[in-house]
A and B are shown apart, each in its own frame.
Chain A
Amino acid sequence: MAEEKKKSAWGYVVVWGALTVLTVATWVLGTKLKLGAFSLPVALGLAVMKTVLVAMFFMHLVEQPGARRVVLPVSAVFLCLLLGVTLLEVMTRIRMSRPDGIEEELEPRRPESTRTAPPGSGSKRLMGN
């Protein structure tokens, strides 16, 4: 690795500066300026930008050859597939499963609270809804 000898570390500091700015921007947008419907896409967009910076430069993805380069993007593709298809199913569930034409109930009818005892007493449940 003789060619590493001359490389400067200042590039990493620049990337760190960008990450810091993006972090503070995420916080300002999320707590001070309310973006309403755009807040989730904007926050996720900023997170993806930070991830690309970390993966490319801190994890040295830019200098990786071949198979090492594609493993992380491929796992991200699987993440998007699982997330996207699951959300698609959840958001269309009732409409598709109602051939009887009842239109007013597009939201899934959520079960009433299954809690019969006061909180923290007795019944063993993993999630409470």
Chain B
Amino acid sequence: MSTESSPWEEHFGSRENQSQAAQLGMWIFLGSEVLLFTNLFVGYAVYRYYYPEVFVEASKHLKADWAMVQTLLLVTSSLFVVLAVHAIRQGRQLQTVLVLVLAIGMGLGFLGIKGWEYWEHWKEGALPGEYYRLAEVPERGGSLFFTLYFLLTGLHAIHMLVALGLLGWLVWGALTGKYTAEYHIPVEVGGLYWHLVDIFWLFIFPLLYLVE
């Protein structure tokens, strides 16, 4: 029944095959994303081993309480995204739109807190590399900590922006009735991406904010 506007492609053989191929492709992409972040985590581990005391001192200049709020925002947004998948699997488009919009709002809240944090670091002089001006923390090690902090949270924030754009696109698709109980592959794989970005933050939070 493949018409011009149908999302189903004949060359997959069956709809089940198409759905499986799309999800396997997304999982492989997510695996490559894990390896991308792995490099930063390894760099963090090496320099934390070299400068353990300085990392503790530098970490006290981050806002751990707000980071917990951010974590809760992300975890809750993940719940809303999985509820969106749940709703569209049953064909409830309006409910899908509603929970996706809630998830987007929480993602924006997360980025708002992050932006405010960056602004505070800017005022304090806790910046990466040669712009490091924080007198209380030794430059050797301290500068590395903040370089890794900005790389990890910055890369995460970029992923958040992409994921937010993706969710917005899903909202548009659901509003125009593109997704049904039979066809909802984009909602499934978009949700997977959001959850992975959430998982990265689950590790960034204790590693950067709760050093002792």
Contacts and interface: CB of A to CB of B under 8 A. Distances in A.
Contacts, number: 175
Interface stretch (B4-12, B75-83, B109-117, B163-171): B75-83
A4 B140 CA distance: 56
B206 interface: yes
Given A4-B89, A108-B50, A72 B27 contact: yes
B202 A115 contact: no
Secondary structure of the B contact surface, majority rule: helix
Interface residues of B, number: 62
B23 A68 contact: yes
A127 B89 contact: no
A119 B38 contact: no
A27 B206 CA distance: 8
B179 interface: no
A83 B132 CA distance: 27
Q: Is the interface of A mostly helix, strand, loop or mixed?
A: helix
B20 interface: yes
Interface residues of A, number: 64
25 contacts: A4-B90, A4-B181, A19-B78, A20-B75, A26-B71, A29-B210, A36-B212, A39-B212, A51-B199, A54-B198, A55-B195, A58-B82, A59-B195, A68-B27, A71-B27, A71-B31, A72-B31, A72-B34, A75-B30, A76-B34, A83-B38, A90-B50, A115-B139, A119-B130, A127-B144
